[in-house]
C-alpha cells in the first residue's frame, strides 16, 4: 500500500518567517532585475534559473536577454514556457507563492514572495544570497519538479558559509529601493494633482483671456470719454458763463476725468496683473481727490460730504487702489442715507504703524442678519449691486498691508475704519 504524502507550501512559511516589512510590486521587480543582472555579465556562463511568476512585467527584457545565454531556465507555470524556458511543474502546491531561484558558479540567490499574504497590493519577501539556506530551498523545489534538477545543486552548490555581511548590505539596498519606489508613488500622486491644477489653470487662462478682451473694450470707451472731456474744456474757454456755472462745469469735467483715470488704471492692472505699486503720498491729497469725485453723487442725494484730514499724515500705499477703496466706502455711505444726511471722513490718530481713517455716515445702520456677510464676495442687498464692493475693498487694502474693519453700526449710522500703513 502506497503511503500518502501531505505536501505543504513550505515557501509561504519562509516568507512569513523572514520579513516584517511589506514591499510594493515595483520594488519586487527591481530586486528581480538586480538578481538576474549578474548572469548577463558573462553570456557564456552556465547556471540555473528556476522560477514561478504570474507577471513578468518589468523583467521581460531581461528574460529575453537570458534566452541568448547558456543559463538553463525552468518554470512552474505555463505562461512562461517556450523553446528556451521549460515547464517543470509536478504538483500545484505553491498557490499564489512566487519565486526565483538562481544557481551559478560563485553566485546563488533566491527571492520568494506571496501577494495574498497581505492582500493590499503589497507583499513580504524572503531574500537570500550566497547562503547554505539556498540548498534547502532548492531541495524543496526540486522534489516537486517533473524534471531531474539535483545535478545543478551538486554542480553549483551554494557556499556553506553564510554571507551575513553581504546579506545585511543587500537588505539595506532592498529597503532603499523600496523607499525610492514609494517616493515614485508619491510623485505620481503629485503628478495627478498637478494635472488637476493644470485643468484649473486652463480654466483660469480662459477667464483671464476674456477679462483681457473685456478690459480692451472698456478702455476704448474710456478713451472716448477722455477725448470728449478735452473737447468740452476747449469749448468752455470760448463760452460766456457766469462764474458759478463755469466753476460747476469745470468741476464736473474734472470729476469725469478723474473717474476715467481710475477706470483706466484698473483696466491696465487687469491686463498686466501688476502687483500694488506702493509709494509715499499725503493722505490728504488722496482723500481730497476722492471727495471731489464723490461730491456730485452726494449733492444729488442732498448728503453733506465732509473731510477732516490734515497734511501731516503721510502713508505708503498704491494711490490708485486706495482711492478706489475710499471712494467705494463713500458711495456705500451715501447709499445708506435716505435723504439729507452726512458722510464724514476723519483721521482718528495713529495705531502702531497705521493711520486710522474713519468713514462714517448718519444712515440707519446695517441690519443684524446682513452684518455677518458684508465682506463676502457676491453678497449684496442692493438691487443694482454686484456684491463685490466691500469684499474687494478689504482685499485691496490687505494687498497694501493695510486693514479695513467695521467699528460701529446702529440706528444712528455706520462707521468703517481704514488702517493705512505710515512711512
Q: What is the pLDDT of residues 141-191, one digit of tens each?
A: 998 888 899 899 888 888 655 555 555 655 666 666 666 666 666 666 666
The count of domains in the chain is 3
| 69/107 same-domain check | yes
Higher pLDDT, 182 or 410: 410
The pLDDT of residue 403 = 94
The pLDDT of residue 271 = 46
Higher pLDDT, 117 or 416: 416
Q: Which of 160-174, 203-217, 292-306 has the highest mean pLDDT?
A: 292-306
| 73/122 same-domain check | yes
Residue 40 maps to a domain:
yes
Residue 167 maps to a domain:
no
| 14/85 same-domain check | yes
Q: What is the DSSP letter of 40?
A: G
Last residue of a domain, one of 115, 141, 162: 162
* pLDDT tens figures, 372-389: 888 886 666 665 444 457
| 39/27 same-domain check | yes
The domain spanning residue 135 has which CATH number? 3.30.870
What is the crossing angle of helices 389-399 and 319-335, to 10°?
Answer: 150
* pLDDT tens figures, 41-86: 666 678 899 999 888 877 787 888 888 888 888 888 766 767 778 8
| 254/312 same-domain check | no
Q: How many CA atoms lie within 13 A of 281 on its CB side?
A: 18
Last residue of a domain, one of 251, 274, 297: 274
| 233/101 same-domain check | no
The domain spanning residue 318 has which CATH number? 3.30.565.10
Sheet with 403-410, side-by-side order of all strands: 304-308, 342-351, 354-361, 413-421, 403-410
What is the share, in percent, of the chain residues with pLDDT greater than 90? 21
Q: Give SS3 for 403.
A: strand
| 150/80 same-domain check | yes
Residue 182 maps to a domain:
no
Residue 316 maps to a domain:
yes
| 345/372 same-domain check | yes
> Are residues 414 and 363 in contact, defined by beta-carbon separation less than 8 angstroms?
yes
The pLDDT of residue 386 = 44
pLDDT over 60 (residue 228): yes
Residue 286 maps to a domain:
yes
In whole angstroms, how far apart are CA 240 and each of 223, 235, 236, 311? 28, 10, 8, 36
pTM of the model: 0.44
Higher pLDDT, 54 or 249: 54
| 144/219 same-domain check | no
Residue 240 maps to a domain:
yes
pLDDT over 70 (residue 217): no
pLDDT over 90 (residue 106): no
| 16/157 same-domain check | yes
Q: Which residues of 251-285 are buried (b: 16+ CB within 10 A; e: fewer)?
A: eebebbbbbbbbbbbebebbeeeeebebeebebbe
**Residue 24 lies in domain:** 10-162
Q: Which of 25-34, 79-88, 235-244, 360-369 has the highest mean pLDDT?
A: 360-369
| 333/264 same-domain check | no
Residue 323 maps to a domain:
yes
| 51/128 same-domain check | yes
Residue 142 maps to a domain:
yes
Average pLDDT over residues 224-231: 70
Taking the C-alpha atoms of residue 321 and residue 317, their distance in angstroms, rounded to an integer, is: 8
Nearest in space to 418 (alpha carbons), one of 339, 325, 341: 325
Amino acid at each position: 500500500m502506497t503511503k500518502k504524502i501531505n505536501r505543504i507550501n513550505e515557501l509561504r512559511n519562509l516568507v512569513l518567517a523572514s520579513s516584517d516589512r511589506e514591499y510594493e510590486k515595483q520594488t519586487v521587480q527591481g530586486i528581480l532585475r538586480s538578481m538576474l543582472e549578474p548572469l548577463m555579465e558573462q553570456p557564456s556562463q552556465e547556471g540555473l534559473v528556476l522560477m514561478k511568476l504570474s507577471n513578468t512585467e518589468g523583467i521581460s527584457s531581461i528574460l529575453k536577454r537570458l534566452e541568448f545565454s547558456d543559463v538553463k531556465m525552468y518554470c512552474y507555470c505555463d505562461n512562461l514556457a517556450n523553446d528556451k524556458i521549460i515547464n517543470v511543474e509536478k504538483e500545484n502546491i505553491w498557490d499564489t507563492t512566487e519565486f526565483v531561484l538562481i544557481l551559478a558558479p560563485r553566485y546563488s540567490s533566491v527571492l520568494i514572495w506571496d501577494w495574498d499574504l497581505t492582500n493590499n497590493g503589497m507583499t513580504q519577501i524572503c531574500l537570500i544570497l550566497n547562503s547554505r539556506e539556498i540548498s534547502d530551498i532548492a531541495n524543496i523545489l526540486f522534489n516537486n519538479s517533473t524534471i531531474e534538477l539535483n545535478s545543478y545543486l551538486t554542480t553549483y552548490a551554494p557556499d556553506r558559509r553564510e554571507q551575513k555581511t553581504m546579506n545585511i548590505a543587500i537588505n539595506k539596498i532592498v529597503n532603499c529601493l523600496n523607499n525610492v519606489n514609494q517616493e515614485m508613488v508619491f510623485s505620481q500622486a503629485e503628478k495627478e494633482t498637478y494635472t488637476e491644477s493644470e485643468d484649473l489653470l486652463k480654466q483660469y487662462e480662459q477667464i483671464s483671456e476674456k477679462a483681457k478682451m473685456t478690459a480692451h473694450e472698456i478702455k476704448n470707451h474710456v478713451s472716448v470719454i477722455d477725448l470728449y472731456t478735452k473737447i468740452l474744456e476747449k469749448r468752455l474757454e470760448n463760452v460766456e458763463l457766469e462764474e458759478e456755472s463755469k466753476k460747476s462745469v469745470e468741476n464736473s469735467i474734472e470729476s469725469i476725468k478723474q473717474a476715467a483715470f481710475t477706470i483706466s488704471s484698473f483696466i491696465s492692472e487687469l491686463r498686466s496683473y501688476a502687483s500694488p505699486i506702493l509709494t509715499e503720498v499725503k493722505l490728504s491729497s488722496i482723500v481730497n481727490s476722492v471727495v471731489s469725485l464723490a461730491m456730485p453723487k452726494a449733492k444729488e442725494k442732498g448728503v453733506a460730504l465732509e473731510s477732516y484730514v490734515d497734511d501731516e499724515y503721510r502713508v505708503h500705499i498704491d494711490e490708485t487702489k486706495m482711492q478706489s477703496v475710499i471712494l467705494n466706502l463713500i458711495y456705500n455711505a451715501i447709499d445708506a442715507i435716505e435723504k439729507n444726511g452726512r458722510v464724514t471722513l476723519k483721521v482718528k490718530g495713529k495705531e502702531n504703524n497705521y493711520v486710522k481713517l474713519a468713514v462714517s455716515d448718519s444712515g440707519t445702520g446695517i441690519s443684524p442678519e446682513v452684518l455677518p456677510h458684508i465682506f463676502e464676495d457676491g453678497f449684496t442687498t442692493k438691487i443694482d449691486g454686484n456684491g463685490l464692493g466691500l469684499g474687494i475693498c478689504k482685499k485691496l487694502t490687505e494687498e497694501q498691508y493695510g486693514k479695513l474693519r467695521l467699528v460701529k453700526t446702529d440706528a444712528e449710522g455706520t462707521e468703517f475704519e481704514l488702517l493705512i500703513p505710515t512711512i
